Each structure stands twice: as structure tokens, then as C-alpha cells.
Structure 1
């Protein structure tokens, strides 16, 4: 299997918003798109996207996980970027039709089909630095992916950065390319200087998120994470894990968490720290790096509760456990 997200199905669903209405979606070649070099997205970053997956079950059926939540978030991102309002029913049909078209290509577990709905501003107007794009394009890319943990899961090294944020606070809830770009500098620097795998952004000591994932702390029977606000991304995987944790009888706490409390709790042997996201579900953190000191998190290795929660979510996605929360949409 190629590197995650580098292999694509030959066709994708695409619709355009022009003359104040959406065109019918078409299945077009996925190797290129046509737009003017002055397109709004290329100059003023009017872009948002989603990441979700389709899974093959043992009976051969194919199901998409929490599609409704990802479409709602795409609609929210589009509104916050003042892109044309998406048609949520149309986007759902584009996703369903695309997956149905390539259902035979959906890998068996632990692989899946990664789906990338993307909405971009296309108006050719470099004078619109302070105005939204009146036209746009929405497409759905499909990428077959393998096991994220090929070669075995390892606990990550995380730099705790109290000086900056992943993105501007009012942009935090938007899944936009610009937010990932703004985190690249600190992440690249942390990799080079302290061999960190990621940066956990903690402006003024407030533990928020990493460059591409939400952060959760597991302390015995409690799972703790920052309460939702507009400063960071409201992850669908985060929400799913918290729901499953509650189902297992764990205490779910959503509140502000300081760097000082994080480091203090990390010294306890039973503590686990994890990052949540679509690609890996949960990735364990073994080391915090803060002010040139390293702190082992719990045992410093992937922990049993993280494994249990990841397996519980995977089992639902792969059809090995009951879908009590109606998270799956059957495609074929």
C-alpha cells in the first residue's frame, strides 16, 4: 500500500456553485481540476475540507462512518469562510455515489477508504482580499489506505508550546488548509530541535490541540479533554471516543487543563495521553517536552485504555460490534 493519502481512485464527484446555484454533481477524472489562476482559493485561502472513512465488513457490505457529522462540519466551515452555502443532501449523495462506484476497491480491515470532501472558492478576482468568493467548487476524493500502525504503534514525543496557537482563535472550529499551514513552522522546528513528533499548542498554559489532532488525557477511570469552544477543531473522532468512554462507565470531563496539571498528572504510572483523529483513531503519547525537560507520560508506552477505546471504535467501524449510536451509513 502506498503512503497514506497518496493513492486515489480515478474518478471523483464534483459540483460547482455558479450563478447562485449548485450544478448537478458529475463523476469526473480525479487527476486534475480546472480553475483560473486568479481563483480566490489560490490567493485568499477560501478552502475547507473533511476527512472520513468507508469500511468493509466481513459480509462484504461497505459502510461510511459518521458521514452526517462530517457534512455538518463542512457546512459550518463553509459558512465561517463565507463560501457559498453547501447543499448537505447533495454532498451526502456525492459521498454515497462515489463510494458505491468504487465499493469493490474499499480495502478489508485494517484498511479503509479515506474520503476527502473539499470546498474551494473559485471566483477569479484578486481584488477580493477582503470579500468572499461568489463561486466555488466542491469535490470528493477517494483514497484507499492501509493500517496506520504498520510496523507497530509507538508512543509519540510531544512538545508543549505555551507561546503560540495552532491558528487564529476565531478560525479554530474551521477545518481549513490555512490552519494546518500556520502550524507547520512550529512543528518543523520542534522536530528538528527536540525530535518531537508533534506540538501540543498550549497558549498561556491552556492545553488545546496539536497541529492535526485533538488531545485527551486518561487518568484511571477518567478521560479528560478541553471543553469545546471556538479556538480549536471539534473532532468527530474525539466525540466518538468520549461517547464510547462514557458507555464503558468512564468519567468524561471536558474542562480547561493547564500545562502544570498535565505535567503533574503525567508522573502517575496509570496515566495515558492520546491524540485522536480520523487517520489513526487514537495515538499514544509517551513523552512531554517542556522548557528543555522531558517528562515520561505514565509508563512511556502505549497504554491499555487507549488500546481498548481504539479497538471499541474499530469494532463498530468494521462491523464486529453493535452500532448502538447509528454511526454507520450502509452504502452497498
Structure 2
């Protein structure tokens, strides 16, 4: 397969190998690599009817010396297990999760894009309830799989601010599944996301479901803002997915940029305190927010066309760590030699 690395999108591409493991009778099997990209499951599987499933997303990065970096993969393993626990699914042992990811990356190493291309290898671990069943109850068996594909740079031509609109819809219920990575949260966002795009916004801003006064998430990403007194702020709520990128930026803002970095309430009527704002997550790393439509009012942060200086520094620092260009904090990087 010939790949035009410079023109990759964020689309499914079949790579040669994926990992597959089955939980049955109280234990996981050894797991194996397979070339079959079709899952064969019972029609009564709980994942299909009752949404008993969770997933993760992470990336592998080609370094200048040709080796491959995995970024904070242990945190993805921990987050998947938090999701599994709440959905009454068996946890995937952390060492099994990491081994599966590494096996898939090694087996598909020719699909890890070249250093400097702006592209990466996107990795999708998935855990689903399978087996014969039809009642509302945990599945009798579970399937854990990891597959991957090369994806292009999220930003074509560099970081570009985009605009968002506050949604009247809720992403997740109070005390619900907002803090775990389950497909139902994303299914619920499709319709309000469509409405936002029809109005020529990038996506929705979701508010806290209890009071609709505080920002929680930006589409499928986490919100952050830079205040006038140079603080890095992200929303605090039990309904927000704990983004690994967000917690990495909190650390870098404090330890690399010397800022105060906090999680706290971000009230919709207090946007004036922010000089910059953005969304962060695995796919985009950082997406600068130009402005937010709040009812009839449109609030602009740093600029609708230019990236703020703090946002740029955070993006540069994080991506250089991921690519191995600067030293990472202890435990953040697992390097795979070809």
C-alpha cells in the first residue's frame, strides 16, 4: 500500500494486524494478533443492545532516530479500567493492555508515519460485551481488541482558531457516564453537533447538565482557558471525561511555563477573565477557540484568526515531548525500537 503521508485525513484504513482477546469463564485468554478486521459476535451481544462497551484512543509517534514513541499509554489502560468497572465489565490488566498496544504497533510499524510528516499512528483499544443474551444484564463474555491506522495532522496548515456555540442539549446526565469513555456519550453528541455545524460552528460547547451555567466540554474534547493573570484553568466536574491530554497540559503549564494550573468551575458569565481558550484531546492535541456563541452574544478570546502565545507554547512543548525532541517527564514515554 502506497500512502500519501502529507494528505492523510482522519479516516479508517485497514492495517495488516490487530490484537484480539476473549474473556470467558472468569478469565482472559492469552490474546493474539490477527489479520481479520471483522468482529464475529453473537446477535444478542450486550454491546449491541445495551451499550455495554468502552474504548480508548491514543497515538504512536515516529521519532527523528526512527524509533516509535507511545505517549502515556498506562493512563489509557487505567482509564479504560475505570470505564469497565462502572459498566460491570472485567478489567483488562494494565500489563496486558500495554502489551497489546505495543504488539499492534510493532506489527504495523511500516504504517507509523515518518518523522516530520505531521501524521501519526492512531490506536483504538475497544472492550465490548458479547455472547448469547437478551436481558438487561452484564454479558457472559467480553472481547478486547486493539487496532490502528495512520492519520493525518488534525490541523492543515498549522493551528487555526475556530468558533463554537453553546448547546441547549446535554452531553451526559448528572451522576451518569460523562466521566467514562463509552460510545453512548458520543452517540448523544451527534445531533447537537450536526445542529452546530449547520450554523457553521466547529462544534458545541456543553454546559453542566444540572444548572446550565458552567462550561464542561467542547464537543468530544476538554476545555481550557488562559486567564488575564496567567492561570491555566480547566473545568472541574464529575461529568467530564478525564482527558490525558488535559492533565498533561496542566502539568506542563505549571512545570514548564511556570503558570498556576487548576481545575475549577468555569462559569459562562465569566468568560471575560480569559485571554485565550482552547479544546484539547488525543485527536487534535489542542484546538484554539476563536470565539463562543452564547445565545445572541458572541464572545471572542485572543483572536478568531491567530493563535494565542500561551496556547502555542503549550502545543509546541507537548508535541515535542511526544516526538522525542525534548525530554519527557518521568513515565510519560514508552519507546519502541524497530
TM bucket by the smaller chain? Answer: over 0.9
Shift, 1:111, TM fit: 1.6
Alignment of 1:1-332 (within 5 A): 1-108=7-114, 109=116, 110-127=118-135, 129=136, 131-161=137-167, 163-169=168-174, 170-192=176-198, 194-203=199-208, 204-220=212-228, 221-227=230-236, 229-247=237-255, 248-262=257-271, 264-265=272-273, 271-301=275-305, 302-332=307-337
- Looking at structure 2, the residues matched to 298 and 54 of structure 1 have their Cα atoms a distance apart, in angstroms, of 31
What is the rounded CA distance, in whole Å, between the counterparts of 1:312 and 1:30 in structure 2?
Answer: 38
Contact 1:6 1:143 in 2 (8 A): yes
Deviations 1:48-80 (A, max 9, x none): 111111111111111100000000001111111
Q: Is the 8 A contact 1:39 1:126 kept in 2?
A: yes
Measure the CA separation in 2 of the matches of 1:314 and 1:231: 27
Gap runs ≥5 in structure 2: 1-6
Map Cα deviations across residues 266-307 of structure 1 (whole Å, 9 max, x no partner).
Answer: 5xxxx1110000011111010110112222222223212111
Give the drift of 1:325: 2.9
Q: 60-69 or 21-30, which moves further after superposition?
A: 21-30
- TM-score normalised over the length of structure 1: 0.93
SS at match of 1:307: helix
Deviation at 1:4, TM superposition (A): 0.7
Aligned residues: 322
Question: Where has structure 1 moved over 4 Å in runs of 4 or more?
Answer: none
1:191–1:197 CA contact under 8 A, matched in 2: yes
Equivalent residues of 1:47, 1:177 under 8 A apart:
yes
TM-score by length of 2: 0.91
Deviation at 1:25, TM superposition (A): 0.9
Give how far 1:134 is off: 2.3
Q: Tell whether the 8 Å contact from 1:217 to 1:223 is kept in structure 2 after alignment.
A: yes
In structure 2, how many angstroms separate the alpha carbons of the residues matched to 1:8 and 1:307?
33
State the distance in 2 between where 1:200 and 1:207 align.
7
Point out where structure 1 has 5 or more consecutive residues left out of the alignment.
none
CA distance, structure 2, for counterparts of residue 19 and residue 188 of structure 1? 42
Moved more, 96-105 or 110-119: 96-105
Q: For 1:59 and 1:190, how far apart are their aligned partners in 2? A: 43
